[in-house]
Amino acid sequence: MVMRLAVVGAGSIGLAVAWRAAGRGADVTVYDPDPGSGASRVAAGMLAAVTEAQFGEEELLPLMAESVDAWPAFAEKLEDASGAAVGYRDVPTLMVGLDDGDRAEIDRQASLYRSSGRAFEALNGRASRKAEPLLTHRTRGGVLVPGDHAVDPRALHAALLAAVERAGVRIRAERVDDPASLDADQVVLAAGCGSAAFGLPIRPVRGAVLRLRAAPGQPVPRTTVRGWVQGHPVYVVARDNGEVVVGATSDERGFDPTTGTAGAVHDLLRRSIDLVPEIAEYHLDEVTVGFRPAAPDNLPLLGRLDERTIAATGHYRHGIALVPATAEHIAALTAGEASAVHEAFDPLRFEEGS
């Protein structure tokens, strides 16, 4: 008998799970009143197993590495299935510092990068500018990470929508209040920050990014540029179509939909222009705010809640990078297979007595 799967949430995570589960033969329905309205349309799209590593989140390194390594094949398969480009950009990431303190911060981070076991190379200022000619002459150098790439999250979401529709998945524009009421054999909760309404320990971490646009013929960075500028992090993610994303702020004030203060936007612009002066010449298209879904330990919630219900949320800052691995592991769980992610990221780990 064909397994009937309901997926709650049509962000990148929910759609990718739906696509992979349909590929395994499941009969899938996705519920979302406004597909693609969540964090997935705000994200910058860094696929960064190394430069996103944070002290205290070391357990995530293997899953990030698995997922980032799966990205090239995933992108190719999705483009074939959807007929749409996802904007996968196979360029390295440069992490640089502007003053000695910033450089020291990168050296401190490098000890963590080393523990990831992934390749990176220390560069002085001159070598950094050779890798990225749009970098300021003031850079003190940093590291070049060949395996940290990027994708266009909006193109990804559009491609996933097309792929699931071609795979026969039904999309119902409905908000789910009670997953138990859904007519399905298995239910995946992938509602991003909306997952808190189902009792999952998820909080919104607000972030704003800027979307800028280079004029035709105007140069954009050929690498993803991340930097420390006078003690503050900033990133610049360019696309081949001339879009340049600058990010990001981070604060915890619940679902405040305002885009942040003028001062916060000014800081992002100033730091990014300090790093890549050409940014001052781009057009500012958008200031967008989104909510990163985060669990108390900032690690995802991936696995069974009960015999019928599976959590696939809490991806925090990494929900685009983690799309391929999440989709494969969660689709396997829906088919009744065991998966290592359940052990590592058990969604019931915060329950009393667990």
Interacting residues with ligand FAD (CB under 6 A): 8-14, 31-40, 42-46, 175-176, 190-192, 194, 197, 207, 209, 247-248, 290, 292-293, 313, 315-321
Which CB sits closer to ligand FAD, 174 or 281? 174
Which CB sits closer to ligand FAD, 97 or 290? 290
CA distance 194 to 352: 23
CB 58 → ligand FAD: shortest distance, Å?
18
- Other C-beta atoms closer than 10 Å to the C-beta of 135 total 25
CA distance 246 to 265: 10
CB 94 → ligand FAD: shortest distance, Å?
15
Q: Nearest 5°: CA angle at 46, between 281 and 273?
A: 25
Which CB sits closer to ligand FAD, 14 or 227? 14
Q: Helix, strand, or coil here: 176?
A: coil
Residue 279: DSSP 8-state: G
Question: Do 6 and 188 contact (CB within 8 A), yes or no?
Answer: yes
CB 196 → ligand FAD: shortest distance, Å?
9
Residue 215: DSSP 8-state: P
Question: Do 210 and 269 contact (CB within 8 A), yes or no?
Answer: yes
Question: Do 81 and 166 contact (CB within 8 A), yes or no?
Answer: yes
CB 38 → ligand FAD: shortest distance, Å?
2
CB 81 → ligand FAD: shortest distance, Å?
18
CB 63 → ligand FAD: shortest distance, Å?
12
CB 9 → ligand FAD: shortest distance, Å?
3
Which CB sits closer to ligand FAD, 176 or 305? 176
In angstroms, what CA-CA distances link 229 with 95, 102, 103?
11, 6, 9
Antiparallel, parallel or unpaired: β 283-294 and 186-189 = unpaired
CA quadruple 44, 45, 49, 51: dihedral sign: negative
Which CB sits closer to ligand FAD, 100 or 177? 177
CB 139 → ligand FAD: shortest distance, Å?
22
In angstroms, what CA-CA distances link 266 with 14, 188, 247?
34, 40, 12
CB 191 → ligand FAD: shortest distance, Å?
4
Which CB sits closer to ligand FAD, 42 or 341? 42
Among residues 50, 79, 87, the alpha carbon closest in space to that of 226 is found at: 50
Which CB sits closer to ligand FAD, 9 or 125? 9
Residue 291 exposed, middle or buried by CB count within 10 Å (0-12, 13-18, 19+): buried
Which CB sits closer to ligand FAD, 42 or 145? 42
Which CB sits closer to ligand FAD, 125 or 143? 143
Among residues 325, 316, 240, the alpha carbon closest in space to that of 69 is found at: 325
